[in-house]
Structure 1
Amino acid sequence: MEDFKEETEKTLEVLKKGGIILYPTDTVWGIGCDATNAAAVAKVYALKKRADKKALICLVNSIKMLEKHVDLVPEPAYLIIEHADKPTTIIYDNPLRVANNLVAEDETLAIRVTKDKFCEQLIYKFRKPIVSTSANISGQPTPQSFAQISPEILKGVDYVVNLHRSKVSGKPSSIIKIGNDRSVKVIRK
């Protein structure tokens, strides 16, 4: 396993101070912050020039952390998390203990249990979910590699994680909405 200790420590320092980070995720390069800090979440919206009515995704490192941040994890979600062959984000009803400006108008929140080793370690040590939104200005294409990230985004974050910069990223995650009534709707394949 790669040793991410130094980068994890530097990134944690920024997150704990309410800063925003640019980091590699299990999908694309993401802009992130403490998902429980409304001021930090507001900075992410401002950097992306994104209306705060458009919700963001957040990452957790385990089912246990997921269960702390939603009122109820519907049974189908466990199966999807366990069996998905690619990163899958699930939209849940009634999120708990996250910043109010992270929650969508319909009282839902998109959360992904990350399987990326750096993200897992970072979230484990931070002990809170972190925001994960593509590293672009709203309406612009999602960068497929670190080299495609705009100077505006690079200058707008408090810290750029120094890992996987040469790797071309994957695609954005699948997004599935699962209601507490067990209804399932695919939002993005």
Structure 2
Amino acid sequence: MAQLLKIYEENPSEKMLDKVVDVLKKGGLIIYPTDTVYGLGCDITNTKAMEKVAKIKGVKLQKANFSFICYDLSNLSDYVRQIDTPTYKILKKNLPGPYTFVLPSNNNLPKAFKGKKTIGIRVPDNTIIRELVNRLGNPIVSTSIHDEDDLIEYTTDPELIYEKWGSIVDIVIDGGYGDNTASTVVDLCDGDVVVLREGKGSIDNL
């Protein structure tokens, strides 16, 4: 059974954060809070862990559209092709925030993502997950947890999440109640702003 770890966003315990990072480095799966719904993720450089996440979501890893959670925009150049100034301005204005931006990828993607032309980037406005990424030293793959019968409590209450997912993952972080609205997904690949899914992030800011 997974560990249920209470971590406070205001002042996250370093000891707890290090414990989670240790599990990620060993290929573990975690459920963590963001500024939208709770997410399921692992270290993007660990292919075995990525395969586990894909299996849980019922997709083949090669076909999975997982996002990368980054600490800030400085991670972008590792995985994203050169972007123009207007695109960068949109990112800078809205991140950290409840958006997933789809951007053109470069050739440095981890093995599991090789061949993908685009990637989704998230920089959530949540100290816990950003601090985990910062300590891990590379992004965490992100996919939201949702329930087949769409019972909203399952995706917002960490204790109910733990009851449902505790036997599948290694750690469930209790960072307080989550939101039940997903991020707004925006495609910026061709220099145009194309909203693929309207969620928590306002489209008026784009």
TM-score (norm 2): 0.78
Contact 1:136 1:153 in 2 (8 A): no
Note the C-alpha offset of 1:130. 0.3
Compare CA radii of gyration and give the structure with the larger one: 2
Deviation at 1:154, TM superposition (A): 2.4
Aligned length: 184
Partner amino acid for 1:133? T
Give the aligned partner of residue 2 of structure 1. 11
Deviation at 1:119, TM superposition (A): 1.4
Match of 2:28 in 1: 19
Aligned-residue Cα RMSD (Å) equals: 2.4
State the 1:145 CA deviation: 3.1
1:125 and 2:135 are equivalent in the alignment: yes
Structure 1 residue 14, shift from structure 2 partner: 0.8
Gaps of 5+ in 1: none
Which one of the candidate residues 42, 46, 62 is aligned to 1:33? Answer: 42
**Identity, % of aligned positions:** 28
Map Cα deviations across residues 12-49 of structure 1 (whole Å, 9 max, x no partner). 01110111111111211111101122211111011222
Q: 1:149 aligns with which of 152, 161, 165?
A: 161
Structure 2: gaps (5+ residues): 1-9, 199-206
Equivalent residue for 2:74, pick from 57, 64, 67: 64
Seen in structure 2, the aligned counterparts of structure 1 residues 7 and 150 have a Cα distance that, compared at 3 Å, is closer
Deviates more, 1:112-121 or 1:74-83: 74-83
1:58–1:132 CA contact under 8 A, matched in 2: yes
Contact (CA 8 Å) 1:20, 1:32: kept in 2 or not? yes
Report the secondary structure of 2:182's partner residue: coil
Distance in 1, matches of 2:162 and 2:17, equals 24
Q: Deviations over 1:67-97 (max 9, x none)?
A: 2221223433322223238411101112453
Structure 1 position 147, deviation (Å): 4.5
Name the structure 2 match of 1:99. Answer: 110
* 8 Å Cα contact 1:38-1:102 kept in structure 2: no
Contact 2:36/2:178 (CA < 8 Å) preserved in 1?
no
Q: Which residue in 2 is equivalent to 1:158?
A: 170
